[in-house]
Amino acid sequence: MRRSLTALALVPLPALAQDDPFAPAFPEQMDAPALEATAVSVETLAGGLEHPWGIAALPDGTFLVTERPGRMRLMAADGALSDPIGGLPEVDARRQGGLLDVAVAEDFADTRTVFWTYSVPLDGGMTAPAAARGVLSEDGTEMTEVEVIFQGDPPSDSPMHYGSRILPDGEYVWITTGEHSAAATRDRAQDLMTTWGKVLRLTADGAQPEGNPFSEDEAATGVWSYGHRNIQGIAQDADGRLWISEHGPRGGDEINLIEAGANYGWPEVSYGPNYDGSPVGRGVSSAPEFTEPVYVWRSATAPAGIAFYDGDLFEDWQGDLLVSSLNPGALIRLSIEGERVTGEERLLTDVGRVRDVLVDADGALLVLTDEPDGRVLRVVPEGFPDA
Using CA atoms, how far apart are residues 108 and 134, in angstroms rounded to an integer? 11
CA-CA distances (angstroms) from residue 25 to 30, 89, 95, 197?
Answer: 9, 44, 35, 23
Distance CA 309, CA 315 (A): 10
* Stated length of the chain: 387
Non-local CB neighbours of 278 within 8 Å, separated by 6+ positions: none
Of the residues 51, 161, 180, 247, which is catalytic?
Answer: 161
| 168, 103 contact by CB (below 8 A) | yes
- Pick from 374, 383, 377, 375: which is nearest to 360 by CA? 377
Side-chain half-sphere CA neighbours of 132 within 13 A: 19
DSSP letter assigned to residue 77: T
* 228 labelled catalytic: no
153: alpha, beta or left, given left = phi > 0 and alpha = psi -120 to 50? beta
d(CA 200, CA 221): 8
What are 354's strand-pairing partners?
A: 369
Residue burial 316-355, b: 16+ Cβ < 10 Å; e: rest: ebeebbbbbbbeebbbbbbbbeebbbeebbbbbeebbbbb
Catalytic residues: 161
